[in-house]
């Protein structure tokens, strides 16, 4: 018996699916690096795998000009853009805190912004589904430019 007031299983499952889908997008990039030709030494799975999602995207962007093959550059660029788009959405979910909202356990995102203002919103099923849909779109975009084996 846990003292944690867990939300219903369908909500928790959706959170897990979002986290897994975004990790899958990361791996589409990281997993292909070892087979791509002429990459700078900074773009290896070993140098990127331990970094946060947004940092991986920024590292790829920073080294794109050194990638000679335009198809490889396009794959890297599309993958990095997907990570740039998804990282803040995943962070909203993973850095939210439990709350009772309308009688149900849900995550509530509350944070201060650099300008001193703040934002707060519920991580509801619609938000989670929209992030999962965006991850699916990103995967489709990446597959369109992914180099064949």
pLDDT per residue over 85-116, tens digit each?
999 999 999 999 999 999 999 999 998 888 98
| Domain coordinates in residue numbering, the chain | 9-145
**What pLDDT band is residue 16 in, cutting at 50, 70 and 90?**
very high
What does the H/E/C string look like for the chain? Answer: CCCCCCCCHHHHHHHHHHHHHHHHHHHHHHCCHHHCCCCCCCCCHHHHCCCCHHHHHHHHHHHHHHCCCHHHHHHHHHHHHHHHHHHHHHHHHHCCEEEEECCEEEEEEEEECCCCCEEEEEECHHHHHHHHHHHHHHHHHHHHHCCCC
């Amino acid at each position: 018996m846990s003292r944690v007031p867990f939300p219903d299983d369908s909500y928790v499952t959706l959170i897990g699916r979002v986290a897994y889908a975004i990790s899958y997008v990361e791996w589409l990039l990281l997993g292909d690096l070892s087979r791509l030709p002429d990459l700078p030494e900074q773009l290896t799975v070993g140098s990127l795998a331990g970094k946060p999602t947004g940092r991986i995207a920024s590292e790829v962007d920073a080294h794109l000009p050194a990638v000679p093959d335009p198809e490889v550059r396009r794959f890297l660029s599309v993958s990095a853009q997907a990570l740039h788009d998804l990282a803040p959405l995943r962070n909203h979910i993973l850095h939210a805190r439990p709350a009772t909202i309308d009688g149900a356990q849900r995550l509530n995102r509350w944070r201060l912004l650099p300008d001193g203002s703040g934002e707060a919103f519920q991580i509801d099923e619609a938000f989670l589904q929209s992030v999962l849909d965006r991850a699916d779109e990103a995967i489709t975009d990446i597959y369109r430019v992914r180099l064949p084996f």
